[in-house]
Amino acid sequence: MSSETMSKLESASKSHLHNIMQIAVFQLNDMNFYGINISKIRSIEDFKKYELIKNNTVQNPLLEGYIRYQNDVVPAISLEKWLDIYTPESVFLEYLICDYNKERLALSIHSIRNIFNVPIESLQKPDRMADTLTYEAIVEIDGEKCIVLVLDVEKLLFDVFGANYTIPVTNLGTARRLLIAEDSRTAQAIIRDIMKNSPIEYEIFNDGEELMEHLEKLDSAAIDGIGLIITDLEMPRKDGYQVLKFVKENNRYIDIPVVVNTSMSDEGVDEKTKLLGSAGFIAKTDPQTFLSVIAQFIRR
């Protein structure tokens, strides 16, 4: 890993203010280009420096074992097995140490390439491997335009660890509706499972632009009927930062509380969203807190 790449990682800045997503681009052994938002990456480590602690009781082949990283024992997950491209000849040079849903994990990769600033509006929904990707981006690598496949790590985590969605349903004392902006199909399915026995009416939008367009079509009575907006941060076309800015800078919607639902386990992200007017922050698709946060912030 070059010092320039590490420097970019350490300075993961206020790119959201310029409608830019910063993506760490890496390769696996199929030599395709893959990407993850750098806000989720804590460090890039030399693969050979870490001994894999295998656990013979592990049933899921995607969970290869554990490594000792700093003071943590971190699960090591095989992206290549998940993507069904692994072969016994696969060579790994680095680990991506990432934080998702308040959990730390290590993803084995062939090699990191660089970190790229990608305009939010240029992100495209994929037409291949759709259940493992959130979107595609085009970046210039070594003088050529290349497609980067941005991975849906929410889906990976679900496939590795599963989830427990048993949540007590309570009457929240409101007839107002809930609007949710979320581009991950897996996260959408989890949210529907969480909400299936809830008395609250809700609607899910595939990105921030869909939600914003919906708001613009509503009259005053319909706007008053919205109790809460929950938005993901990473979305194509319009992201969660833009949703926050749109709602909190428009007098028609300013009274609607907005809660950010994201897997970016980072205090800096929490602070940035609060500065833009968010009412609260949920570790993405955490079923144990989802309804309680709704109960706390929804308008009565």
Question: Phi, psi at residue 280, to the nearest 5°?
Answer: -160, 180
Judge contact between 156 and 59, C-beta under 8 A.
no
Judge contact between 191 and 284, C-beta under 8 A.
no
For residue 97, the cross-strand partners are: 43, 106
**Could you give the domains of the chain?**
3-159 (2.40.50.180), 163-297 (3.40.50.2300)
Model-level pTM greater than 0.85? no
- % of the chain beyond a pLDDT of 90: 42
Residue 43 pLDDT greater than 80, yes or no:
yes
**CA-to-CA dists, residue 115 to 2, 3, 69, 141, 262, angstroms:** 11, 12, 23, 11, 21
The tokens for 297 are 């912030």
Alpha helices in 1-82 (DSSP H): 3-10, 79-82
pLDDT category at 2 given cuts 50, 70, 90 is very low
Please give the torsion angle defined by the CA atoms of residues 181, 184, 190 and 195, in that order, rounded to the nearest 10 degrees: 20
Per residue in 128-175, pLDDT tens? 666 788 889 999 998 999 999 999 888 888 888 775 433 344 556 678
pLDDT category at 284 given cuts 50, 70, 90 is low
Residue 4 pLDDT greater than 60, yes or no:
no
What's the confidence (pLDDT) of residue 165? Answer: 37
pLDDT category at 92 given cuts 50, 70, 90 is very high
**CA-to-CA dists, residue 157 to 88, 115, 151, angstroms:** 23, 23, 11
Report strand pairing: 94-100 vs 111-119: unpaired
CA atoms within 13 A on the CB side of 48: 3
What's the confidence (pLDDT) of residue 1? Answer: 47
Give the helix/strand (H/E) hosting 273.
helix 267-275
pLDDT category at 254 given cuts 50, 70, 90 is very high
Per residue in 55-76, pLDDT tens? 655 568 898 888 889 877 888 9
